Each structure stands twice: as structure tokens, then as C-alpha cells.
């Protein structure tokens, strides 16, 4: 089974679904060791392209043909609907803070702040 630990970096201020906050360490450990988590969705900042965020079901990372890219994880939730809501929440926060919708720049700058 593939292990993703070397391919995943996690945002310092990682966004979580409310129902997952007590299970943070377990979920990250399972992601890093390639354990199946069908109902977990991961929001990542894409390395290339024009997308602001991408949503992946954690089970996709276990597919043999799935790209072995580096992933910068900014959010983890349970369920696709929650993932869409989290994207909306992040976009709203970015707009509120900056007056723009450049999620990528906002998150990367916040990551650098420490």
C-alpha cells in the first residue's frame, strides 16, 4: 500500500470539519500511512494550473494510477457537501480579509507568517 507522508504537507492553520476536530491526529496518521478513509475529503492547493483549491476524496490517494505529486493540504472534512461548504468559508474569509478572491496567495502568505 502506498504511503503519502512524503508527498503531503499540511497547512499550519489547517481547516477542519467540526465533527473531525477530536480525531485530527488519527486522520492525519491514516492519510500519511495510506489507510482507507472513504468519507474524508481533502482540500489541497494545486501546484500548477489556475484552480484556487482542489477537492479530493482521500480514497483517491490509494489508487495505483493516482499522480504521485506533492500535495499542500489546507483542509480536511467529512463528506463532499462539507468540502464545498469549507471552500465557500475559506473564499469568504479571504475576501473579507483582503478584498480579493486570491485564495492561493492568502494561504501561502499566512503559511509564511508562521
List, for residues 88-103, the tens digit of each pLDDT value. 999 999 999 999 989 9
Q: E-strand spans in 5-114? A: 8-16, 40-45, 54-57, 71-78
Could you tell me the pTM of the whole model? Answer: 0.86
Among the residue ranges 2-6, 55-59, 67-71, 78-82, the one predicted with the least confidence is 2-6
pLDDT of amino acid 18: 86
Cα 7 from Cα 45, distance rounded (Å): 13
Amino acid at each position: 500500500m502506498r504511503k503519502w507522508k512524503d508527498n503531503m504537507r499540511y497547512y499550519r492553520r489547517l481547516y477542519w470539519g467540526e465533527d473531525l476536530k477530536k480525531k485530527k491526529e488519527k486522520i492525519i496518521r491514516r492519510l500519511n500511512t495510506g489507510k482507507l478513509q472513504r468519507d474524508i475529503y481533502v482540500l489541497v492547493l494545486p501546484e500548477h494550473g489556475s484552480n484556487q483549491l482542489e477537492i479530493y476524496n482521500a480514497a483517491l490517494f490509494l489508487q495505483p494510477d493516482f499522480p504521485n505529486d506533492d500535495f499542500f493540504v489546507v483542509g480536511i472534512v467529512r463528506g463532499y457537501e462539507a468540502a464545498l461548504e469549507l471552500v465557500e468559508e475559506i473564499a469568504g474569509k479571504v475576501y473579507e480579509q483582503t478584498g480579493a478572491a486570491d485564495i492561493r496567495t492568502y494561504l501561502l502568505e499566512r503559511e509564511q507568517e508562521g
